[in-house]
Chains A and B, each alone.
Chain A
Amino acid sequence: MLSDAFLARLDAFALRAGRAATGGAGGMRRSKALGSSAEFSDFREYVAGDDIRHIDWNAFARFDRLFLKLFMEEKQQRLNLILDASASMGFGKWQAAVQLCQALGYVGLCGGDSVVLYTLSGNGVHSSQTLSGRYSYARLAALVEQTQPHGSVKLDTVVPRLLLPQGQGICFLISDLLCEDGYEKALSSLLYRKQEVTLVQLWSREELEPTMEGTAELIDSENGQKLTLNASYDTLKRYRETARTYVQQAQRFCHARGITHAFVVPETAFEEQMLRVLCNAGLIA
C-alpha cells in the first residue's frame, strides 16, 4: 500500500493520454466533442438552432456579425491496468509491480477516469469491476495486494482474449515479458483494440546481472524445469549480453508501434524511483 504522503504527491499528477477521450460518461478528460466546459476551443458563425447563450457579444459589437464561442466537452477515459502475476514476477519485483499498479490506478481514479484491473496468473485471468472516483482507490489497492504471483502466463494467448470495453482506452501492461511464447501478439492485440498502450517492463537487478559462481542447477520458477550450468565468467557475461538484447528488442518493438516502453529495475526506495520513471516516460504529468 502506498503511503498517504506519496498519494498526496500523486494528487498533483494526471495521466497523459496521446489521443482524446471518446465515449464514456462525462469526466475530467478532454474529448473531441464540444461541450459545456469552461475551456475555450474555437469560434464559428451562428446558425439557426444554436444556443444563443454561447454567442460572443463582444465580437458582434466589433464585427456586426454573430459568432458562436465553442467550448471543449470533458469526458471520462478508460484506464486498463493489466498486471502480469506469473511466478517470475515474484523475484524481487512484485512489490514494485504492486506499487506501480496502485499509483497508476490512483492517478487515474483521481483524474476522473474509470479503472479496470486485470491480473494474469497461473490461476487464470481476474478482472475487477470498473472502478471510478477517488474513493475506489482503497478497493483497487486491496485487489492488487491480495494478488500473489503464481504459475506461468502466456501473454500472447491470454491478453488477446481479455474482455476490454468497446472504444478507446489507456492500457498499462506491467510485466517482465519473460514468456516462452513471446509477447508481441499481446501488444499488437491491444493496439488493434484502440488502446493507447504503455508497457512497463519490470526486471530485478539479479535478472539483469546475476551473481553466482561454480556449478549451479537453475530451477525455473514457473514450470520447475532445471538447467545445470557452469557459471563461469564468460557464461555470466554472455547472459548479461542476452538480457540487454532482450530488453532492446522489446524497446524496438514498442517504438515501432507507438507503444510507450518503460524499463524499470526496482530500487530499494521504489516510490521516488517510480515517480521519476513515470514522469520521464511521459506517462503522468
Chain B
Amino acid sequence: MEWLQPAGAWAFIAIVPVILLYLLHKRVRQKPVPSLLLWRKTQMDEVHSRLLLHFRNQLLMWLQLLMIAVLAISLMHPATGGKAQQESVWIFDLSASMQTLDTHGISRMRRAQEAARKQLDSMPVGEKLTILTASAAVEQPLTRSDDRAEARRQLSTLVAQNGSSDLAGALALAQAMQRELAGVQITVFSDNASLSALPKIGVVGVGESMPNQAILDVTVQPESGTAFAQIRNDGPAVETALECHAEGVLCDLRTVSLEAHAQTSVRFAVPKGTQEVCVRFAQPDALQADDTRYGLAPRQNRHTALLVTDGNVFLQHALALDPLMTVDLAAPSDAQETATYDLYVYDGCLPEKLPQSGAVFAIDPDGEVFGIQPAETVSQAQGVRAAAGETARALCENLLLDEIAIKETRVLNGGTAVLQTNEGAVLSVYETQTHRVAVLGFDLHRSNLPLKADFPVLIQNLLKYLLPDSTASVAQAACGEEVALHADVRAQQVWVRTPSGKMIPVKDGYLRDTNEIGIYALIEQYADGAERETRFTLHIPTAESAVNEEAVSADVQYEAKTAYGLRDWSTYLLMLLFVLVLVEWEVSRRGT
C-alpha cells in the first residue's frame, strides 16, 4: 500500500470539529410524558453515564466520522500493486531565448510550464517522472518521483536563465536512463527548432517566431571619446532608437534604420576618458535580455619586473618594449631581492632561494627551477623549432624561427616544451599553484637569437604567458558559463562582485555564478591591504538572440507501453463515501 498524496491526511482534522459539535450541541432535552408506565415496560437504552451520553449509539456521529475518515483516505490516494513503472524524463530548456515573449506577452518558459502541467494532469497514477533542466549545466530537480505535488512545485520554480542550454548533456543523461530503465519516455520542452529530428525523443516546441533586435557588442575608445555598438536585426526592416549611457549618464541617442535580417554598427559620441558605456534599445522587444549591453574601456594593467643580469641589453630592451612594464635591474650578487615584483628574470644566475610569488623567467640556469631541470650540455644545436601542443603554439605565435643558431645549450627536462632542437627542449614553461615559470636552456649571448626579429616577439609572448591578464579568458565568455579567472597569485583574497553587488569569493580560479547580465568586478586584495579591481562584462550568448525560428513539436510512438502503474483505490473509496452519505441521510431522515 502506498499513499500517492499523503497531504490528504490533513482532512482528518475535520474529525475534531465534528466531535466538538456533538459535545457542544447534543444536550439532554427534557420532555414531559403522560406516564412512564409504558417506557418502563419497554426494554430500552437507559443512559447512566453523562460522559458517554454524547457518543454512545450516536449513529449519525459515527457515520459522519467514518465519512471523514473515508474522505481523508481517498484524498491520500491509497494505491496498491504496480509492477513495471512507466517513466518519463522531461528536459526543460532554460536558455536565455526561453525568456522571449510571444504576441500575448507570455514567455516561452511559461508556455513550456503550461504544456508540462497539462501532461502532468493526464499522466497515469504511479508513473515516475524525472525532471532535467538544461541551462549552462544540467541539473536534476526531480528524480524518478511519482509525487505529483512535488512535480508541480518543481515546475513552478523553473526560470529561464541568461545563458545557453546544455541540451546535449541533458539528452545524454536522459538517453542513459532510457537505456538502463524500461519504458522511459523522453520529452524536451524547448524553443530549439533543431530538436524535432531527434529519434525516440518527444519534443514540445514552445514559442512562436518573433522578430528581435539584439546588441551584439559594445566597444569603447576613451581616447577619442567614441563607442561602437554592433546591432543585429532578426526580423523585418525596422527603425529603432538606441540610447547610450556613459558612466551611467545618458550621453547619446540614435535612431537607426535596420534592414531585414541584417547586422550594422552604430557609433556614439561619449566623453573622452569614458571607461564604462551602456547601450540599450529605447523600446523593449520580444527578448529583453539582449536589449542592453555594456562595454568597458581596454584594460591597462601595469607590471613590474626585476632583471638580474651582468648586462644584457637585448633582453632589457625586449622587456621594456611593453610600455606598461617597469623593469628594474639588479646584479647577480643582489639576486636575493626581497621586493615584490610581478616577474623575476634571472639571466645566467639563480638566487639561493627562489621568490615565493611572482613569475620567474630563468635563462641558462645552473639548477632546477620549479620542476624544470637543465640536463646535459649540447653543442652546435641546430633546427630550433616550435614544440607540439597548444601552449607551444600560443607562445610561438608570429615567430619565424629561421636560421637560429645556438653554440651551446642545455637540454631541459620537465615542464612543457616550447622550443626544441633535435636533442631536446631548449625553452620550457611550467605552471604551479603559485608560479608561472619559463626556462631558456642557453645563454642568449651564445646564440644569434637576440639578433633575430623573433626575439622581441618571443619575449612578449612569454610575458603574456608569465603575466596573464586575470580576466583575459572572460572576453569571449557569456552568462551561464564557467569563467576562468587568473588572479594574481600574490593576492591573499580574491572576490568577484556581481552586477547586483553580491560578493562571491573565488577559490579555485573559477566563477560559476554568472547568470547576471552586466559588469562584474574581480577584486584582488594583497597582504599590504591594497586592492586591485579588474572589471569585465557578461551578456547572453549571441546565438540566443535568434528567436525568429519556430520550434516544432514531435510526438514519439513508443513500441511497448506494457508497464502498469499502481492501482489507485481512491475512486472506490469515493463510491463507498457516496454509499455512506446515503446511509447517513436515511439514518438522519428516520431519526436516531
Q: Which residues of A approach B to under 8 Å, CB–CB?
A: 87-91, 176, 178-180, 204, 207, 210-222, 225, 227-236, 238-239, 242-243, 246
Contact = CB atoms under 8 A, between A and B. Distances in A.
B590 A220 contact: no
5 contacts: A215-B54, A216-B31, A230-B45, A246-B38, A246-B41
Interface stretch (B22-30, B248-256, B288-296, B538-546): B22-30
B198 interface: no
A65 to B, nearest CB: 68
Nearest to A89: B34
A242 B28 contact: no
B28 A217 contact: yes
B43 interface: yes
Contact of A219 (B33, B38, B41, B590): B33
Contacts of B35: 88, 176, 178, 180, 220-222
B42 interface: yes
A243 B42 CA distance: 9
B572 interface: no
B32 interface: yes
B583 to A, nearest CB: 13
Contact of B33 (A214, A221, A230, A246): A221
Nearest to B591: A213
A219 B31 contact: yes
Given A178-B38, A213-B591, A215-B28, A229 B44 contact: yes
B34 A176 contact: yes
Contacts of B507: none
Interface string B499-510: 000000000000
Interface string B390-425: 000000000000000000000000000000000000
Nearest to B41: A242
A214 B42 CA distance: 17
A234 B40 CA distance: 15
B278 to A, nearest CB: 79
B57 interface: yes
A268 to B, nearest CB: 19
B39 interface: yes
A10 to B, nearest CB: 29
B176 interface: no
Contacts of A222: 34-35
A178 B35 CA distance: 7
Interface string B56-73: 110100000000000000
Given A91-B33, A216-B29, A228 B38 contact: no
Contacts of A89: 34
A231 B31 CA distance: 11
Contacts of B1: none
A243 B38 CA distance: 6
Given A215-B28, A220-B33, A233 B41 contact: no
A88 B30 contact: no
B47 interface: yes
Contacts of B59: 232
Contacts of A231: 591-592
Contacts of A229: 39, 44-47
B589 to A, nearest CB: 11
B37 interface: yes
Contacts of B34: 87-91, 176, 178, 204, 207, 221-222
Nearest to A87: B34
Contact of B57 (A91, A212, A232): A232
A217 B46 contact: no
B30 A235 contact: no
A204 B240 CA distance: 97
B577 interface: no
B53 interface: yes
A220 B36 CA distance: 6
A238 B41 CA distance: 10
A73 B591 CA distance: 63
Contacts of B53: 215, 228, 230
Interface in B554-592: 590-592
A23 to B, nearest CB: 38
B571 to A, nearest CB: 32
A221 B31 CA distance: 10
A234 B42 CA distance: 11
A14 B182 CA distance: 102
A178 B46 contact: no
Contacts of A212: 29, 31
A216 B46 CA distance: 10
Interface hub of B34, B42, B59, B591 (most chain A Cβ within 10 A): B34
A133 B181 CA distance: 112
Nearest to A228: B47
A227 B28 contact: no
B39 A227 contact: yes
Nearest 10 Cβ contacts at the A-B interface: A88-B34, A178-B35, A91-B34, A213-B591, A235-B44, A220-B36, A230-B45, A242-B42, A239-B42, A219-B32
A213 B592 contact: yes
A227 B36 contact: yes
Contacts of B47: 215, 228-230
A92 B334 CA distance: 131
Interface in B500-536: none
A282 to B, nearest CB: 28
A180 B37 contact: yes
Given A178-B35, A178-B38, A179-B37, 6 more contacts: A88-B35, A90-B34, A211-B591, A225-B36, A230-B53, A246-B41
